[in-house]
Structures are given as structure tokens and as C-alpha cells.
A and B are shown apart, each in its own frame.
Chain A
Amino acid sequence: MAEEKVTAIIVGAGPAGSTAAYILAKEGHDVVLVERGTTPGCKNMYGGRMYSHALNRIIPGFWEEAPVQRPIARETVTFLSGARSVSMSCQNTDWTAGPYHSFTLLRADFDAWLAGKAEEAGALLACGIRVDELLTDGGKVIGIRADEDEMLADVVIAADGVNSILAQKAGWAKMFSPHQVATGVKQIIELPEETISRRFQVADNDGAAQLFVGDCSNGMMGGGFLYTNKNSISLGLVINVGELRRSQVKLPDIVEDFKNNPHIAPLIEGGEVAEYSAHLVPEAGLAMMPRLYGDGMIVAGDAAGFVLNLGYTVRGMDFAIASGEAAARTVIEARERNDFSERQLGRYMDFLKQGFVLRDLEAYQKMPQFLETERMYKAYPEFVTGLAGKLFTVDGRPHVPLLRMVMDQMKESGISLVQLAKDGWKGTRSL
């Protein structure tokens, strides 16, 4: 493979890499998409849902052909504290009609499909290859080395995931600190299709998404998630690694505790675990962003830290797809000018800003810090569930005025008025 030079080598056949490969190949460029798994998607996992908008712009009506599971009809956020839980749900029938708002999907199927689209468009897909090194010439990236094989390209797109070995080898990414990433763990729990629809009270093939905060993370910064697939439930936790370092509880045990939580157990009752998976989630947003472009290379997707967690929405795949698109547009323009210098590839930033990727990450840049507020994971869930528990309890005891009830509950949960006001202000400003 040594002598031939292609326009782009894309490392990683996840949503960012395959999108970039698809767009470039469709425009007639020579691209090689390199994947370390034996099939695209077999190394990838995520929580469970993709917002449709980014891919729908590139492949309109993709759900007609893509292996999606269920369009999400209902969103729920649940506070967990001991015997009590409080949920807030939002249902919107528009979400389950075209253009579908979001889908649950399984990455082994979906990523293979998207990589297949790139292949169909003319990209060369090479699986089972771990890229070991970048080839450079005077500071410029000129290709890759995998084992004994070398391959040259005008540009390398590093879409090699959160642990981006390439961005680190290039010296573009610092090793992240524990509090900048979270560990996501998930179990796929199989249940009959009708049982899932009935249990989650959704029509036919519709789905439900649920996020949990409180007991599930053992008081650590993090939370739980549940997504319904066709014949299975994706259930898991995302916990900040900095917090895991301080904890003395084994992560697999925390997951098993979560499954046996009285508010969760009935949802998965009778299910069979079909898979257990884990993955790091970049959580610090702009604060952990590596250098995104330079002579001969562009970084996209998780490798660039493009994930946004607002507590009630968690986004990664739409950012990955849009950044893959931005990378492809950058390469197309660079090819036209036959200029792959850092200055020309800097157009990547313009494409990222014209889309939503950098715009949204900048708009919510205070959010990661706000989510570090310790009270979010113990005191507030306790407060919310405690107060609601009192409101809904009728037991013949004398009436307590609402304001007093609130004040009492705050005291019980160890929250001061000043803290509440400060956190409220900080939270509002982060959004």
C-alpha cells in the first residue's frame, strides 16, 4: 500500500468517520476508511439514542433504510432517593412522525450501515486495522502506519474516538484529567417487543428515554439512563472518573445496585442480559478540546471532545456526524485549492461554527462546571422527592403550610436558601 497516495485517510468508522468518508466519496474523492474492529461498530457503544437532525441533512429520510430501533415518543427525567422517586415526563406526538426527532439504535448495526453507505459511495473500507503511528514530514501529517504498512494521504481525519491515540501522538491533545471524562457502562436487557411497549406505555413501535439522577450514582457526579430498543432495554450509568477515583465501590456493583433499585427493577423485570459494555464519555466540552486542525490533519467526533450533556439531553452522535461533515467540506475545499496547510484546513472551524457544533458547545460552555455541583446528585434529589412525597401523602396529620413544608424539607436535605439561590442562578446562566 506504500506508494499510492489518497486524498484522505479517515481513521475510525464511527459516525464522524463514516460521514466524512461518505461525503468525500460521493464527491468523487479517493478515501480510505480504516477501522480497528473486524466490522464497523463492533468497538462502539453509547447510551442509546441519536437525535436525527444532523444525519437527516446528509441522508434525508435515512430512517427508511437505516437500522433504527424506535423513535422516541416520551422523555422522562427521574429523581431517585431511597423509597421515593419523582419523574417529569414530556410526550410529543410530533416526535414520532417524520422527520423523526430521535431514534434509539444499536451501534453494531447502525455504524456498520453508515460505513456501508460510505463504501457504496466509493470509499475503501479497511477493517481489523489498528493505526499505530502518524507519518509526518517536517511537522506535517502525511499518512499513517499500521503494523508494517504505511499509507499516504493529503489529509488524515482522526475520528478515532474519545481515547484519540492520533490526536495524542500528534501532540494535539493532552491526556485528559479524570474529572474531564466519565465512564459509561451499559447492559442490554432483552425483553419481548410487546412487553416493552406495554410497560413503557408507548404506541406500537415508539420508544421511551429516561434519565435518572440521585441514588443511582451513589452520590457521585453522574446519572443513569434507560432507552427502549425494539426487543431490548439499554440501561446504564455514566459516572465521572474523578469521582470514581475517590469512591471505594466497584463500578460493576453500582450497576447491579441500580438494576435492583426498587424504581428500576420493575422496568427490567423478566429481562435477560445480552451484553455488557463500557466507554469513556468526554464531558468537559471546550475545556478539553484538543487542537482541531493543523498541517495535514483534522480531528472529529469524540476524538475532538464533541459531546454535550445538559442533564436532560445528552448529545454525541449528532455532533460526531456534523463534525464529520464539516471535516469533509474542509477537505473538499482544500483539494480544490490543492492546499492542505494548517491555514487552509482552518476552514474546518468556519464549517463547525456555521453548523451547530461549536455554536452549541460555546453556548453551553458553563454547563460542565455547573454539573459538578455536588448537591445535584444527593441533596436536591432528596429535596425534590421528599417534598413531593409529603405533598402526596394523606395520613390524617395536621395541615402544614406549603412554605413551611418547603423550608422543613430544605433543612432535612441540608440545603440552605443561599445555596439554592446560588445554584438556581448558576443553573439558569448555564442554560
Chain B
Amino acid sequence: MKRLTIEQLLGVDKFAVDDEHAHIKVNKEICSACNPKPCTFACPASLFCIKNGELSFDYAGCLECGTCRVVCPNAGIAIDWQYPRGGFGVHYRYG
């Protein structure tokens, strides 16, 4: 089977993106000092990436698994993690 990019994979999923609230926020200061930045490879949706040396994060394709919250070496401080507001976020049609 042809390899799919993460954009293609997330493209088949259904989301109701909450434009007003980001349910996950990262602390850029703490994160810039974090060396391995494990969130950048552990996130199943690859939503964390490094742009111009800074950690950049997009909550829109979040699969709501919680991996980033656990894998973070500064757990509880660097990532402010919540589920999306009721009715928003990923909507699995199969699961």
C-alpha cells in the first residue's frame, strides 16, 4: 500500500475544530529548553514540530489520546492539557 503522510491520514478523519479555544497549550519557554522534545515524535498525529528552532503546535488534528501529556519530560508544567469542549474535536466514525 502506498505510504500515506500524516496530513493524508488526518484528512480521512472527521473533526469539529473549536476555533475559539485551544484545548492544549504549550509553554514555549519551557519547551524551547527541552532537549529531546519527545512530543515531536511520540504524538500520533505529529502535531508538535520544530519551526525556526521553536516548538510549534497545532491542536486542530488532535486525536485526544493524551500521549503528549504523558511523554512530556516536564509533565504537568509545559503542556496545559484538556479535552476539547463538549461537542468539539475528533469524531470517530469507526473507532
A interface with B by C-beta (< 8 Å):
36-38, 41-46, 106-108, 111, 127-130, 146-147, 162-163, 165, 175-178, 181, 183-185, 187-189, 232, 241, 244-245, 247-252, 255-256, 259-260, 265, 268-269, 271, 273-280
Contact = CB atoms under 8 A, between A and B. Distances in A.
A271 B2 CA distance: 10
Given A244-B41, A265-B1, A277-B63, A42 B95 contact: yes
- Range of interface residues on B (Cβ < 8 Å): 35 or more
Given A129-B86, A251-B41, A256-B3, A280 B94 contact: no
A44 B95 contact: yes
B40 to A, nearest CB: 8
B70 A176 contact: yes
Contacts of B92: 41-45, 107-108, 275, 277
Given A42-B92, A241-B71, A275-B93, A268 B1 contact: yes
29 contacts: A38-B16, A38-B91, A41-B92, A44-B92, A44-B95, A129-B86, A130-B83, A130-B84, A165-B82, A183-B67, A187-B9, A244-B67, A245-B42, A245-B73, A247-B42, A248-B41, A249-B41, A251-B44, A251-B46, A252-B6, A260-B1, A271-B1, A273-B4, A274-B94, A275-B13, A275-B94, A275-B95, A276-B10, A277-B94
Interface string B23-43: 000000000000010101111
Contacts of B91: 37-38, 42-43
A129 B84 CA distance: 10
Q: Is the interface of A mostly helix, strand, loop or mixed?
A: mixed
Contacts of B9: 187, 252, 273, 276
A175 B76 contact: yes
Contacts of A189: 1
Contacts of B44: 183, 185, 251-252, 255, 276, 278
Interface of B: 1, 3-4, 6, 8-10, 12-13, 16, 36, 38, 40-46, 63-67, 69-71, 73, 75-76, 82-87, 89-95
A392 to B, nearest CB: 28
List the 6 closest pairs (A to B, CB-CB), nearest first.
A107-B95, A278-B44, A128-B87, A276-B9, A278-B63, A278-B65
Given A130-B85, A241-B71, A273-B4, A163 B46 contact: no
B70 A181 contact: yes
Contacts of A265: 1
Contacts of B86: 36, 128-130, 146-147
Contact of A273 (B12, B41, B64, B67): B12
Contacts of A255: 44
B95 A175 contact: no
Contacts of B36: 245, 248
Contacts of B76: 175
Contacts of B89: 43
